[in-house]
Chain A
Amino acid sequence: MDGWFTTEEPYTLIGARCSACGTYVFPPRSGACPNPGCDGTDLEPAELSRRGRIWSYTENHYAPPAPYVAADPFEPYALAAVELEAEGLVILGQVAKGVMAADLEIGMEVEVDLQVLFTDDDGVEKWVWTWAPAAPSGGAR
């Protein structure tokens, strides 16, 4: 999804911010502010906070149907819904490969990373954002 995240470090998700009322929206959109009390039509791309806290999480043990491209053999993966405090958004993402539900808890700090979602028929890697356990605070990435 072009324009939903930066592809160079430090990785961030890109939402949109209304230039009139200042509210945020993810995924980014254009045309109309989602706030019904605002007539704004100018939504600017906005890099969102890199870090947030887990609102909830799960771990899937069955391969989802298409259009998900599941690994064969299928490997369970975790999903986390993460709250970004400054933007007031909760955003869902897969958790970094190898990090499972047993490693997670509500309130835990995580940060945006990228990983390969699948490799298409032409051998091109498709990337997606993930939530990864946050490096110790102050640690540079």
Chain B
Amino acid sequence: MSDDRDLVVLGTGMHPWGKWGRNFVEYGLVAAREALADADVAWRDIEFVAGADTIRNGYPGFVSGSTFSQALGWTGAQISSSYAACASGAQALQSARAQLLAGFADVAMVIGADTTPKGFFAPVGGERKEDPDWQRFHLLGATNPSFFALNARRRIDVFGDTPEDFAMVKVKNSKAAVHNPYARFRKEFTLEDFASSPIVSDPLRLLDVCATSDGAAALIVCTPEYAKRKLGTLEGTVRIKAVANTTPTYPQVRLELPDIATDSRAVVAPPALGFKDSIAHNAYEQAGLGPDDISCAEVYDLSTALELDWYENLGLCAEGEGAKLVRDGVTALGGRVPVNASGGLSSFGEAIPAQAIAQVCELTRQLQGRCEGHQVEGASVGLAINQGLFGHGSCTILAT
């Protein structure tokens, strides 16, 4: 595989996930300082700041690149601010990557932080009749878990999955999270806990769906030349091999958030690769790697059942066989390819613009062997994947 488009991850930083309702900038500063210290790079030396935006925290959230730059002290750095729903963090990373690979900068900070309201994610305020996100709430009461549930029901009906299979995902992820100091929920759950967990959107229970959280994550990334000057060698560094941000191909025939309807398959046949398959495929192509090369993965388990989908979308198993992987412990710590060794979104709760960056922080630390208690032994290639609302998919691959 070609190395000439690699970036090096010099440092990672996170604010633990939780629910405090404080200013999101506060959390971001903690993550930024931790990442700078980890990289041993001075804030003043950062040449490019890529912010991942939050849309629920007023104007500063829409211009996160400058918000964090001002909070850390203006240095005249170049900036970008990106919003791509759940993929915002990956979009910010892609913005930094493009800048670095183009030679416009040598070292960059990627940062995202969020403060979220309690309960279901709701559309931003105001009567916006043209906005599909507003329409699906107003006309149908189609919450995010409703969409996850439609998908889970399909798995039960088409593949023969059971609610217990879904619960096993949560049990697995909660077990890993106990050892992750950045996770919000660090309690180990058992299958028995599910019986008393209320149904949210049938067949999914409260324990099957991910919460919303406050949190922040930051990365310091640089060109290999910069890393070599700084470290003397590239030996042992964690490299970013791929960042693929992908849209669906018409017709998109899976019902996806926030749409009320799919595209039509009446005139044009669906593409060979569905949307979620294509997100991973594009990243594999960029990296020159495939599913068999992956040591561990961080996937967007907005629901337990969705994690099983991702196994299949990543090519870790054939379509319909996801439940077997979790049943057999293949994706648990100690298994062939541990998934969500961080604890996943089920243990974090989603802090939208920080989440995709946190996935990369976790993988970097896994590849560095720094995840005591939830370490994937011998991890050398990590993959992070998520899907933002409105068809904004992203996949990042890292390798040592």
Chain A's interface: helix, strand, loop or mixed, by majority?
loop
CB neighbours (8 Å) of A56 from chain B are 150-151, 153-154, 157, 255
A60 adjacent to B123 (CB under 8 Å): no
Asked if B120 and A62 make an inter-chain contact with CB atoms under 8 angstroms apart, the answer reads yes
A81 touches B255 (CB 8 A): yes
CA distance A22 to B119 in the complex (A): 42
Chain A residues with CB under 8 A of B266: 22-24, 86-89
Chain B contacts of A105 at CB under 8 A?
157
The answer to whether the Cβ of B98 comes within 8 Å of any Cβ in the partner chain is no
CB distance from A108 to the nearest CB of B (A): 11
* Closest B residue, CB atoms, query A65: B122
Given contacts A34-B250, A106-B153, contact A23 B267 (CB under 8 A): yes
Q: Given that A58-B150, A64-B137 are known contacts, is A25 also in contact with B264, CB under 8 Å in the complex?
A: yes
Please report which residues of chain A, range 75-102, place their CB below 8 angstroms from some CB of chain B when the two chains form the complex. Answer: 77, 79, 81, 86-94, 101
Q: Which residues of A contact B265 (CB under 8 A)?
A: 88
Given A25-B261, A81-B150, A88-B253, 7 more pairs with CB closer than 8 A: A35-B267, A58-B153, A61-B202, A88-B266, A89-B261, A90-B261, A94-B140
* A67 and B143 alpha carbons, distance in the complex (Å): 11
Complex contact A79–B120 (CB within 8 A) = no
Q: Which of B154, B253, B264 contacts A24 (CB 8 A)?
A: B264
CA distance A77 to B199 in the complex (A): 13
CB distance from B130 to the nearest CB of A (A): 10
Q: Which of B264-280 contact A (CB under 8 A)?
A: 264-268
A-binding residues in B (CB < 8 A): 119-120, 122-123, 127, 129, 134-143, 145-146, 149-151, 153-154, 157-158, 198-204, 250-251, 253, 255, 260-268
Contact A90 B262 (CB under 8 A): yes
Quick check: B201 and A58 within 8 Å, CB to CB? yes
Task: Find out whether the CB atom of A27 lies under 8 angstroms from the CB atom of B150.
Answer: no
**Closest chain B CB from A88 CB (angstroms):** 4
Q: How many residues of A contact B (CB 8 A)?
A: 44
- Are A67 and B138 in contact, CB atoms less than 8 angstroms apart? yes
Contacts of A65 in B (CB 8 A): 119-120, 122, 137, 143
Residues of A within 8 A of B264 (CB): 23-25, 34, 87-89
Q: Report B-chain residues with C-beta under 8 Å of the C-beta of A23.
A: 251, 264, 266-268
Given the interface pairs A58-B149, A106-B157, the reply to whether A64 lies near B141 with Cβ below 8 Å is yes
Residue of A55, A69, A79, A117 touching B146 (CB-CB under 8 A): A79
Residues of B within 8 A of A36 (CB): 250
